[in-house]
Amino acid sequence: MKTHYYLGWFNHFFPENLGRVLQEDITDRKSLAMISSNPSIYEDDGATERSWLDQAGIMFDKYHLINYRVQKEDAQTIIQNASVIFLLGGNTIKQNSFLMQYELSEAIKKSSAIVMGASAGAINMSVKWLCSKNFGYQVETSSVYDGIGLDNFSVLSHFDLENNIAQVQSELSLLSEKINIYASNKDCAVRVKGDKIDVVGDVYLISHSKIQKLDETL
C-alpha cells in the first residue's frame, strides 16, 4: 500500500499525533534518501527535517543526501533501495529542475518506499502546482509546473493561508477546476495511504473554485 506524506513546516517538532502515525507507518528503517531542494548547497542540508524524525524516535541505519555531489546513476540507485524518500523543503523551482535533470520522478513513483515532502518537497510531490509571485516566487508571470504526480491533486504547502484565504482561492481557482488542491500552513500534514486521505492541523481543500476547511482526522 503506497503511503505519502505532504508536510508543511514545523517550527519545533512533529505534533504527537503525526509522530505516532509515522512511527506506525515507517517499519522499514534501513535507509533514508533525502532529496535536496537547493542541490548546489551542501552544508546542513536536511538537518532540520532529520531532527523532526529523530525527535519522533525514527532513526535509520543509513542516511543519504542526494544533491549535485551525487552522480545521477548513484542517485537513482539510492532511490531504488530507500525505505523512506524525503523531499526536503526550500526552493521549489530548483528542486523541480533537479528532479527532471536527474530523472528521479519515475524512480520515486516506482519505489515502494514511503515518500514524504516538506514545504517545497510536498509541492513537488503534486501532480501539478502553480508558481506565482503571490506565493513568494521570484517570477513575473504565473505558470503551472508538473510535479512528480504521486497523487492526482495539487498542494500549496507552508503558506500564510489564514491572512490570505481570498487571494489563495482566487489565485488557484482555475487550477482547482481541473484538480483538487490541498492548502496548508505550518504544523500541518496530509497523509495518503492507499485510497484514504487524512489531515493533521489546519488544511483546506480547494475544489471547483470553492474552499473549505477540513476536519483533522489523525
- In the structure, what pLDDT confidence band is assigned to residue 42 with cuts at 50, 70 and 90? confident
Q: What average pLDDT does the segment 23-38 reach?
A: 97
Can you give the pLDDT at residue 191?
A: 98
pTM higher than 0.95: yes
Q: Dump pLDDT digits (tens) for 145-172.
A: 999 999 999 999 988 887 888 899 999 9
Protein fold of 3-213: Rossmann fold (3.40.50)
* Pairing mode, strands 114-118 and 128-131: unpaired
> Which residues of 47-89 form beta strands (DSSP E)?
62-66, 84-87
Look at residue 217 and tell me whether its pLDDT is greater than 90. yes
Residue ranges per structural domain of the chain: 3-213
Name 22's Cβ contacts closer than 8 Å, sequence gap at least 6.
5, 14, 53, 56, 58
- In the structure, what pLDDT confidence band is assigned to residue 50 with cuts at 50, 70 and 90? very high
Shortest CA distance to 121 belongs to which of 141, 144, 93, 161? 93
Cβ(198)–Cβ(190) below 8 Å: yes
Query: Residue 75 in 3-state DSSP?
Result: helix
Q: Which of the 8 DSSP states describes residue 50?
A: H
Q: Concatenated DSSP letters for 107-142?
A: HHHH--SEEEEETHHHHHHSSEEEE-GGGT-S-SS-
Look at residue 44 and tell me whether its pLDDT is greater than 80. no
The order of strands in the sheet holding 189-193 is: 62-66, 31-35, 84-87, 114-118, 3-7, 189-193, 196-200
Please tell me the distance from the alpha carbon of residue 133 to that of residue 161, in angstroms, as a whole number.
15
Look at residue 33 and tell me whether its pLDDT is greater than 80. yes
Please tell me the distance from the alpha carbon of residue 143 to that of residue 1, in angstroms, as a whole number.
33
Can you give the pLDDT at residue 43?
A: 73
